[in-house]
Structure formats: C-alpha cells, structure tokens
Amino acid sequence: MITAKEQYTSLIQLYNQMMFPKNPNARQWTLTEIDQLDVHFFYEVLNASEVESEKDEEVYLSDVW
C-alpha cells in the first residue's frame, strides 16, 4: 500500500519530468499552463529538480563583517 506522502512525491516527480523533459523534442509547457498550477505545488516541483549540493550555503552577517 502506498502512503499519501509517497503518492504526493511521485506526483511531484511526474510533474517535474513533464515540465523539464530530457528529450529536447518533447512538448513544452506554456506559461498559461504553468500559471494554472498552485504556487506552493509549483515551488515544490522546482525544488525537486535541485540537487542537494547546489543549495545555497547559510552565511551570517557576523561572518561577513
């Protein structure tokens, strides 16, 4: 049995593959289609495409000044 969290993760991965296909000849999404997505879901799809090593490192002002 698949949990709701696993289904949601699977859905995010599916949307990520559809929005950012590896095949250059694949259908591209229009801005209108992307605009119809829920903003929170859209950001989760974008975050799913990030690699852990590419995330910003925390830097504090006290370290800079």
Q: Between 65 and 31, whose confidence is greater?
A: 31
Alpha-carbon gap, residue 62 to 48, rounded angstroms? 31
**Per-residue pLDDT tens digits for 27-60:** 888 888 888 888 888 888 888 766 443 556 777 8
pTM over cut 0.85: no
pLDDT at 51: 45
Alpha-carbon gap, residue 12 to 5, rounded angstroms? 11
pLDDT at 31: 82
